[in-house]
Structure 1
Amino acid sequence: MKFRSDVAGTVTGVRFYKGSSNTGTHTGHLWSASGTLLASVTFSGETASGWQQASFSSPVSITANTTYVVSYQAPNGFYSANSGYFSSAADNVPLHGLASGTDGANGVYNYGATAFPTSSYNNTNYWVDVIFSQQ
């Protein structure tokens, strides 16, 4: 998911929504808009379903009004998804999940090995989010 913040702050981790069939070892990632990996974390102690959360070893400072990408790897598929979600912005001030077209497509993903997510299909939300603190 591509997102921006209205204010500077820190991203301390990643969370994603897990269905009971979404098994395997999950990893979360924070990327710059150009594809630089800023942080990653392996989830542990997951429950069978619901929101899962993991913290980076060090918080990552982000700049206001700058696009970043948060992703997670679901190695066995069965990820949660809502088609068309990013046809408009998803706002939880000060954070904004960008509407597709604001800074390219949103609902970005990548299949296979961990890599910067650049594919998109129908503005789909894959229910991954950052854990954010304002400065």
Structure 2
Amino acid sequence: TATFAGTTGSGWQTVNFSTPVTIAANTTYVASYHTTGAYVATDSFFATAVTSGPLTATASGNGLYSYGGSGTTGLFPTSTYNSANYYADVVFRPQLVA
């Protein structure tokens, strides 16, 4: 987890983990955020798989969300609606192999 600091009312918000997360091939990961306010979504975004470089967001089981939690305690997203994209992206930097 990471906590946003110095966010603004509009525009792209970015937060970095204090330590990079190592991922494994052919494994599903969830990138999400918790808000007590507004959010943006685009329906049918994940109607088909989306690939960017070596990462693929599958068409099935993507666009997860949950309602509830508090300003300090979030929830793990488990629900999906209309293949929506809630715009939680990742920055992927492949490890260089010598």
The TM-score with structure 1 as length reference comes to 0.64
Larger Cα-atom Rg: 2
1:70 partnered with 2:31? yes
Q: Secondary structure at the match of 2:5?
A: coil
The match for 2:17 is: 56
Structure 2 letter corresponding to 1:59: P
Query: What SS class does the counterpart of residue 22 from structure 2 fall into?
Result: strand
CA distance in 1, matches of 2:92, 2:10: 22
1:111 to 2:29 alignment: no
Q: Deviations over 1:107-127 (max 9, x none)?
A: 111111112211011110001
| Contiguous gaps of at least 5 residues in structure 1 | 1-39
Taking the TM superposition and a 5 Å limit, the aligned residue runs for 1:90-105 are: 90-100=50-60, 105=61
Higher relative CO (CA 8 A, sep ≥ 6), structure 1 or 2?
Answer: 1
Q: How many residues align?
A: 91
Question: Deviation per CA, 1:64-111, whole angstroms, max 9, x where unpaired?
Answer: 1211001001112x20100111110111111212112xxxx2111111
Off by >6 Å, runs of 4+ in structure 1: none
Q: CA RMSD in A?
A: 1.1
* Structure 2: tracts of 5 or more residues without a match: none
Q: Given residue 111 of structure 1, which amino acid in structure 2 is its aligned partner?
A: Y
Give the secondary-structure state (helix, strand or coil) at the position aligned to 2:32: strand
SS, match of residue 59 in structure 1 = coil
- Match of 2:86? 126
Structure 2 contact 49–56 (Cα < 8 Å) conserved: yes
Q: Percent identity?
A: 51
What TM-score do you get using the length of structure 2 for normalisation?
A: 0.86
Looking at secondary structure, tell me which structure has more strand per residue.
Answer: 1
Distance in 1 between residues matched to 2:8 and 2:51, nearest whole Å: 27
